[in-house]
Structure 1
Amino acid sequence: MWKKVIAAVLLISLLTVAIVQAVNKQTKEPEPASQTAASQKGPAVGSMAPDFELKTLTGETVKLSNLKGKKVMLNFWATWCPPCKAEMPDMEKFHQEVGDEVTILAVNIDPQLDVQAFVDEYKITFPIPLDTEDAVNEEYKVLSIPTTYFIDSKGIMQHKFVGSMKYKDMKEQVGKLK
């Protein structure tokens, strides 16, 4: 007899929990689709670029907000990425041409790999900040690499380029910056 009573109590308890959870799921308001999409896309073009501070491959510290007054090309890349490898020679050529007029920050998202060997192989001379905690990559919601943000001298993101860039793309996008 006691076994039947205990079994009935357990069964009623489980049904109650299931009903409460089902009701709670139905009463929760879903996040608007536009808000969900925006949160997955990262910072919007036309907004202030999120600030960050990272150590470069050479040990220097670079802070984005310290670059106000300069045009910035903020690139996210990895050593194993074929499109990243394809765009690096053009980025170096562009860097050599523009000099101090534009700051190129090529944020590496796989610093556990041999970034120095990559830099040596491609003879890169612009700064390579290392995102060791994956914090900047997360902040900018980079889903595909390479991804490049073009930031004007006021710190406003003016364009986002996803994929491998050619020299002409870099020149065109930087030419639009103020």
Structure 2
Amino acid sequence: MLSLLFMKYWPRGWHMLKKWLAGICLIGLAVYMCWTFYENYTKKEEVGIEEGQKAPDFSLKTLSGEEASLSDYKGKKVLLNFWATWCHPCRKEMPAMEELQKEHSEIAVVAVNFTSAEKGEKTVKQFADSLHLTFPILIDKSGINADYSVLTYPTTYILDEKGVIQQIYAGTMTKKQMKQKLGLN
């Protein structure tokens, strides 16, 4: 009955309506596919190891035997430093990191030691004691440095208060550079 009424008022009939509906559906499908493609390929993953991504959380023991997680520092800017005692550039920048931490309590300096490449935790402890380091030194025996794709030492990740990676720096930094990258000037 409906088709008879439609054919009476639409001279070309039902077939023309089906073509129009099919065309509208195809256009809608194309728009949906383009939007999905745009959304998937223009936004970065929420968690990752690139600038603009939320740094992956991890938990490690500190030199003092306590458990510490990266998420413990949420709400503070973080200077996340990957280092080793046998790395001469690392030795050079550690005093600057200590000074920075003492001068700016609003930021967190977190040093992740590549412990699986050390002679042992005792070596790390002696190193930290010799430089009077007070910031947390995390013992990495599980490969967090590999999770962060650390290829050279030192490598530093600058995180904002939400844990999002703002900058990645491979190599030694001066205190002035650290302050600049943390926005403390």
Fold-level match, TM-score > 0.5? Answer: yes
Q: Please give the secondary structure, in 1, of the residue aligned with 2:166.
A: strand
Does 2:125 match 1:119? Answer: no
Instruction: In structure 1, give the amino acid aligned to 2:64.
Output: T
What letter corresponds to residue 169 of structure 2 in structure 1? F
- Percentage identity across aligned positions? 49
Distance 2:97 2:164 in 1: 21
Partner of 1:156: 164
* Aligned CA-pair RMSD: 1.3
Q: 2:145 matched to which residue of 1?
A: 137
Are 1:49 and 2:58 matched, yes or no? Answer: no
Give the equivalent residue in structure 2 for 1:82. Answer: 88
TM, length-normalised to structure 2? 0.69
Residue in 2 aligned with 1:108? 113
Alignment match of 1:168 (pick from 167, 170, 176) = 176
CA distance in 1, matches of 2:98, 2:158: 16
Distance 2:137 2:73 in 1: 15
> What is the DSSP-based 3-state SS (H/G/I as helix, E as strand, rest coil) of the residue aligned with 2:104?
helix
Deviation at 1:66?
A: 2.6
1:59-74 aligned within 5 A: 59-74=65-80
**Shift of the alpha carbon at 1:67?**
1.9
Counterparts of 2:89 and 2:157, CA distance in 1: 16
Distance apart, 1:69 and its partner CA: 1.1
Structure 1 residue runs of 4+, over 4 Å off?
Answer: none
Comparing both chains, which one has the higher relative contact order based on Cα–Cα distances under 8 Å and sequence gaps of 6 or more? Answer: 1
1:133 to partner: Cα distance: 1.7
Q: Could you list the runs of 5+ residues in structure 2 that have no partner in the other structure?
A: 1-47
Q: Unaligned stretches of 5+ in structure 1? A: 1-41
Amino acid at match of 2:135: F
Count matched residues: 133
Name the SS of the counterpart of 1:158 in structure 2.
strand
| 2:100 counterpart SS class | helix
